[in-house]
Structure 1
Amino acid sequence: MTDDAAWPALPVESWTPTRDTLHMWTQIVGKIRMALAAPVNHWWHVTLRVDARGLATGGIPVGSRLLELAFDFVDHVLLVRTSDGGLVTVPVPGLSVARFYAEVFDAVRLLGVEVAIHPSPNEVEVAIPFADDTVHATYVPEQANAFWRQLIQADRVLQRFRSGFGGKVSPVHFFWGAMDLAVTRFSGRTAPPHPGGAPNCPDSVMREGYSHELSSAGFWPGGGSEGAFYSYAYPAPDGYAEADLPDGATFSAEFGEFLLPYEVVRTSPDPDATVLAFLGATYDAAARRGDWSPDLLIRPHHARSER
């Protein structure tokens, strides 16, 4: 049984109002990064990263300066700062999405940065414009902190998994569209055009994201009673869903992906090994059945001899 402080229990139904509010907030912050950062393939320039206090954009070039927006889930503020010493702190408890949106743009303008974003969320069925959204106004600090601690563990294990691949591979990063932490490996071949269909999201976005054959995995606060680790391939090769899986993992026909419930990981004797077994088995299903080159796998860094 693992330490609950490291792998906290957080039933999805217990924090859905906070989750949905935070989802909209991360979209606002992520869209600012998207509007200002240089484009990178597969939309890698729009993502947030897990850091030692929460989720952050990292440095975004604005002229000769850098702008960064960072959620601090310890002190429960959004930090908006620039490389020339500018700093505006936005306390987040008690804010609706509409108020958060206004305060973030006030802060950015106060620091001398002008930016415009598409002012409605993506990849959600009901897309309330940010400026009008007073529906989502719940933020329970303890729940946001627990989610961030889940992300820390997921990020740490996904980084280990990422290190075993020698081909093109994404960073481990947080996509605010679906609110998931993800890492993606690529075979090196192009893929058939993606059909699109994500709610309130142009099909062109999905075609760019899935332009090449991939096996993607990550963590998402859904898909299980406490969230789930997931893995899928695009395009999915024949027989993919029949892969051999470790105990507790299944293939979801509803989502078209493999799922490993977070609660299975949290209560296992070795959570890291449980997740890595899942990631390895599901990547193997994509790679073997999709005829990926075995040379794309490399020995773990810790197993290499010293230089």
Structure 2
Amino acid sequence: MSESDQPWPEVDHGDLAPTIGYVNRIVQVAGKYTLDAPFEVAWGNIVLDVTPRGLRTPTLRKPGVTFTVHYRLLDGDVVIEADTGCRTLPLGKGSVASFYAAFCEAVAELGVHPPRSETICEIPGSAPTFPDDRAEHTWNPHAARRMWEAWNLAARGLEAWQAPFLGNHPRVGLMWGGFDLSATRHRAQPTEPPAGRPPFQQNAQLDSYVAVGFAFGDGKAQPPGMYAYIWPPPDGLGTRSWGVDGAAWHPDAGLVLLPWDRLGATPDPHESIVAFGDAVYEAAVELAGWPDTLGPRVDGWYMSRTPPELVRSRHS
């Protein structure tokens, strides 16, 4: 059965909201370590990889210890893997505070210091820090799998969209603060960040970029699905076509949105994500003067069947 024939997973924000809120908080615990890594444009160094089992930090290298943290959502646990050993924490009933205490105890046994920051960020109405968040959560494996399925499907399309771009682009991954799966393309053109925004947003907006991604939405104005925007936003976005039926510009949000159910109704959602991203980048080229810096889009690199002259012809 082909991917296009498989049932498209339903993503209902209301059903998933408790698990979304819990996972968003606990992935910030290990995510804080990425803030100690050398800064990449628009926070490209902090993203979590979508793995076959969940979400994982990059390899984190500290004096005396190298480690990674894998949130295995399909297994209901968190694995901390270091050159000094491994520890596993279950994701059962408990609070963010209890998880954080257990996490700090586990990493200490491996020679890893606790995260420098305990602040819970970018979650409206949240407790201010991990130790303050004592609300009880019960692990929902069904919701965790639905979340992973959505990330996995979106990541495949975003990686295919990103592949031919010849400019700077961080790997596709989850921004653990805003909790969106992000693919960005950058342009070395300084811009002026809006005043009054948090420092992390101002740092992200020091240069021009195009962002395409997936988010679970807010249960209100923004539904689960794909989003995109161009920074700085050019004039003329309201009259554009966005490559896929159902995709539309929402000026109040400053986003182009493609709802998850509309994406799933297309003949090939994977190709629709690519078409959506291509339409957004085309708008950046035509309205904001971005260079058309795209290489050939080749489905894999098979030396036995992809002659160099074919690749050159696609690039010309």
TM-score by length of 2: 0.88
Gap regions ≥5 residues in structure 1: 198-202
Deviations 1:206-241 (A, max 9, x none): 121111111101000116786110000110011123
Determine if contact 1:169/1:185 at 8 Å carries over to the other structure: yes
Residue equivalent to 1:205:
200
Counterparts of 2:288 and 2:5, CA distance in 1: 35
Determine if contact 2:11/2:260 at 8 Å carries over to the other structure: no
Residue equivalent to 2:55:
55
Change (3 A) 1:243 1:223: farther
Determine if contact 2:30/2:115 at 8 Å carries over to the other structure: no
Residue equivalent to 1:200:
none
Q: Which amino acid aligns with 1:149?
A: E
Determine if contact 2:247/2:256 at 8 Å carries over to the other structure: yes
The counterpart of 2:289, out of the listed 274, 288, 291, is: 291
Counterparts of 1:223 and 1:2, CA distance in 2: 29
Counterparts of 1:182 and 1:256, CA distance in 2: 16
Deviations 1:50-106 (A, max 9, x none): 11211000210022431110011221100011024x111000121211111111111
Determine if contact 2:45/2:170 at 8 Å carries over to the other structure: no
Change (3 A) 1:303 1:144: closer
Determine if contact 2:33/2:60 at 8 Å carries over to the other structure: no
Counterparts of 1:74 and 1:14, CA distance in 2: 17
Counterparts of 2:38 and 2:114, CA distance in 1: 14
Change (3 A) 1:151 1:168: same
The counterpart of 1:214, out of the listed 205, 209, 212, is: 209
Asked whether 1:227 is paired with 2:224, we answer yes
> How far off its partner does 1:196 sit?
5.0
Q: Which amino acid aligns with 1:12?
A: H
> How far off its partner does 1:136 sit?
5.7
Counterparts of 2:115 and 2:58, CA distance in 1: 19
For 1:132, what is the secondary structure of its paired residue? coil
Deviations 1:180-199 (A, max 9, x none): 010111232111223353xx
Determine if contact 2:65/2:112 at 8 Å carries over to the other structure: no
Counterparts of 1:44 and 1:196, CA distance in 2: 23
TM-score by length of 1: 0.90
Counterparts of 1:54 and 1:276, CA distance in 2: 23
Q: Which amino acid aligns with 2:131?
A: A
Residue equivalent to 2:92:
93
Q: Which stretch shifts more, 11-20 or 265-274?
A: 265-274
Counterparts of 1:49 and 1:195, CA distance in 2: 31
> How far off its partner does 1:124 sit?
2.1
> How far off its partner does 1:263 sit?
1.1
Residue equivalent to 1:161:
161
Residue equivalent to 2:26:
25
Q: Which amino acid aligns with 1:88?
A: R
For 2:131, what is the secondary structure of its paired residue? helix
The counterpart of 1:238, out of the listed 231, 235, 238, is: 235
> How far off its partner does 1:27 sit?
1.3
Counterparts of 2:13 and 2:24, CA distance in 1: 13
Change (3 A) 1:94 1:134: same
For 2:45, what is the secondary structure of its paired residue? helix
Q: Which amino acid aligns with 1:206?
A: Q
Determine if contact 1:223/1:259 at 8 Å carries over to the other structure: no
Q: Which stretch shifts more, 132-141 or 47-56?
A: 132-141
Q: Which amino acid aligns with 2:121?
A: N
4+ residue segments displaced more than 6 Å: none
Q: Which has the higher contact order (CA 8 A, sep 6+)?
A: 1
Counterparts of 2:94 and 2:187, CA distance in 1: 44
Determine if contact 1:182/1:218 at 8 Å carries over to the other structure: yes
> How far off its partner does 1:172 sit?
0.4
Residue equivalent to 1:148:
148
Counterparts of 2:170 and 2:196, CA distance in 1: 21
Residue equivalent to 2:6:
3
Counterparts of 1:166 and 1:136, CA distance in 2: 47
Residue equivalent to 1:115:
114
CA RMSD of aligned residues (A): 2.0
> How far off its partner does 1:153 sit?
0.9
Determine if contact 2:65/2:111 at 8 Å carries over to the other structure: no
Asked whether 1:15 is paired with 2:16, we answer yes
Residue equivalent to 2:278:
280
